[in-house]
Chain A
Amino acid sequence: MCALVKLIDALEILKHPRSDNAPAFRLGLACGFTPLHFETFLRAHLSQRFPGKRVHLDTGLFGDLIGNVERLARAPEETLMVVIEWQDLDPRLGIRSLGGWRTTDLQDIVTSVDQAIARLQGSLSQASDSLPICISAPTLPLPPLFMTSPRQASSCELQIRQLVASFVSSIAEEPGIRVLSSQQLDELSPLGDRLDVRSEVQSGFPYRLAHASTLAEIVATLVEPSTPKKALITDLDDTLWAGILGEAGPEGISWSLDQHSQLHGIYQQFLESLASVGILIGVASKNERQLVDRAFERTDLRVSTEDIYPVEAHWSRKSDSVGRILRVWNIGADAVVFLDDSPMEVAEVKEAFPKMECLVFPTGDYKAFWTLLKHLRQAFGKSVVNEEDLIRMKSIRDAETFHSVADGSDSLDDFLQTAAASMQVQFTRDGRDGRAFELLNKTNQFNLNGRRLTKAEWSAYFEDPAAFLMTVTYEDKYGPLGKIAAVLGRSDDKTVQIDFWVMSCRAFSRRIEHQTLRQIFEKFEAEDVHFDYQSTARNAPLQEFLAGLLGTPVLPGYSLSMAKFSSKPFELFQHVEEIVHG
């Protein structure tokens, strides 16, 4: 990342303002220094990340970081960006204050930093309830105020660094708070090239332009992270392991130091790490299936074969294998990375799936391998791991079983009656449900209107006393699906208005949507339910469901009466439990 943007380039980007009609994105920038060119860079980077929006930045007062955090948290911001520098924790750690650097002052500075951090932490924790927060811990070098030579760390310096490290590690655990990686910044902006002493003294802006640009670019990606990829399809020979299985046999392939094939072991370990956070891993290999199964029986593999599904091992084209895997996973090619050591295979898959990221596995090239791992972590990085991530692979395997049994049943009713399905539904007026928010913003097929909400819009929705959130968690004898549906609506005197309704495609064919609607009618004793329906390019499953209830094509302004719903001849077999807390 980081194509360094110069100040003149940033100004050029900002010369083309968005239309006044474009929706605004409001960011609060809390810092204790004059934001000056950092603000310009940040606005430019955010404008690029929000191409359809007008970026509006609010800033605060010079020298009052904590006050700025508290003020901006009360303003109508969508995200709060907090950029901390040492002088915000004690002015004596900057160069615009002459508070004293005597040895006897140092312990007092440590105490003062501790107190400032406590206050800042309290303000941030409170603010994080209402809006997402991105934080950059101090990026500048500490001034030479300690008694030791710069080559030797002093006790006070280490205490100050420890206080900050402890603070950021603690705050990073708060939901809704993202902390900038100092390692990433260190790679892109050398520590010695960050502080501009002249600018800091003369104008209160402490950064050299290159550092301001790099820092702004990274924090902009924290504000609006790229959508993480969902799945990886890997080749086997000279990729998952070193060697050709068909020639060396299951015992001849390797991934260890002593066989000079450690990179493949690291790669396996990396795949296991991805799988542990819900990334799907599949295999597309030109090999004999029987041999692959024997290789997968080796107990020294660094990735569990439980985490790999499906395995396409035969002599057909790789693109055919990839196509089948995508159908099993039911995800788009743009959410997948394909890895193979053969440039020809990579090209063949890329031609068949232009939106898929297809990469050559750099066998034997240590430097390129390291770059690849970092790139993959960038592509698959996610801020939180939820319960659904942990059961995703099992759920896909279970779905295969579910559909094969369903296909063999005499009727859907017969099948569903024996599925031992249970649903937990929860109605709440509290919007602090990260999974429901995620479902709303990533579900396409069963989606009432395709509308997305920012965190701020989501929170604002619940300011309406009539608003409710309904979530559905499902399980049957084929396995748990987790929390798979969310409905946002408003109830008023026997009428319910549904503004948003999404359900994971993993939950299709189980009449969960029918039961969801029944629960809404019953919960609110509703006579009519109105839907804010809009057709989208991808919500055909939702359209078919609604049209089936009404018996006519579905149109915007769709509504359904209890009488009409009850007259429909379908049976529901789920055991329903309402969760009442929350």
Chain B
Amino acid sequence: MVEVQDRLIRCFASVFPDLPEGQIRSASVETVPKWDSLAAVTLVAVLQEEFEVEIDLGDLPELTSFDAVLRYLSSHGLSPNGHK
């Protein structure tokens, strides 16, 4: 799971460039002011590209924190090394 987490951190860092790396694991809609609808759509696109998964924008309400995204990816068949 470590590799998935590292790749996920890179995704978050690219979408939220002002977020210090140490705060990425605890990031959520509540703690990151720039996590608006545009950022959410961009994050989904980056995740789809990085992990080669299809994410329905209808699932956006689930994807409200780093942990939630990690759980979502796991539940959609992503193995710890990041492959399906």
Contact = CB atoms under 8 A, between A and B. Distances in A.
Contact of B41 (A11, A12, A203): A203
A9 to B, nearest CB: 8
B30 interface: no
12 contacts: A7-B45, A8-B10, A8-B11, A8-B14, A11-B14, A11-B17, A11-B46, A12-B14, A14-B17, A36-B41, A202-B56, A209-B48
Contacts of B38: 36
A40 interface: yes
Nearest to A16: B17
B56 A198 contact: yes
A294 interface: no
Contact of B42 (A6, A40, A198): A40
Nearest to B50: A8
B57 A8 contact: no
B15 interface: yes
Given A11-B15, A203-B57, 12 more contacts: A6-B50, A7-B42, A7-B45, A7-B46, A8-B10, A12-B14, A14-B17, A15-B17, A36-B42, A198-B54, A198-B56, A209-B49
Interface string B39-76: 00110011011100010111000000000000000000
A37 B56 contact: no
A40 B58 CA distance: 23
Contacts of A15: 14, 17
Interface of B: 10-11, 14-15, 17, 38, 41-42, 45-46, 48-50, 54, 56-58
Nearest to B11: A8
B76 to A, nearest CB: 15
Given A15-B17, A36-B41, A8 B56 contact: no
Nearest to B15: A11
A37 B45 contact: yes
Contacts of B58: 202
Q: Which of B42, B45, B50 has the most chain A CB atoms closer than 10 A to its own CB?
A: B45
Contacts of B17: 11, 14-15
Contacts of A7: 42, 45-46, 49
Nearest to A14: B17
Contact of A37 (B11, B14, B42, B54): B42
Interface in A121-138: none
Contacts of A37: 42, 45
Contacts of A36: 38, 41-42
Nearest to A15: B17
Chain A to chain B: the 3 pairs with minimum beta-carbon distance, closest first: A11-B14, A202-B57, A15-B17
A14 B42 CA distance: 14
A8 B11 CA distance: 7
B7 to A, nearest CB: 10
Contacts of A209: 45, 48-49
B73 to A, nearest CB: 15
Nearest to B54: A198
Contacts of B46: 7-8, 11
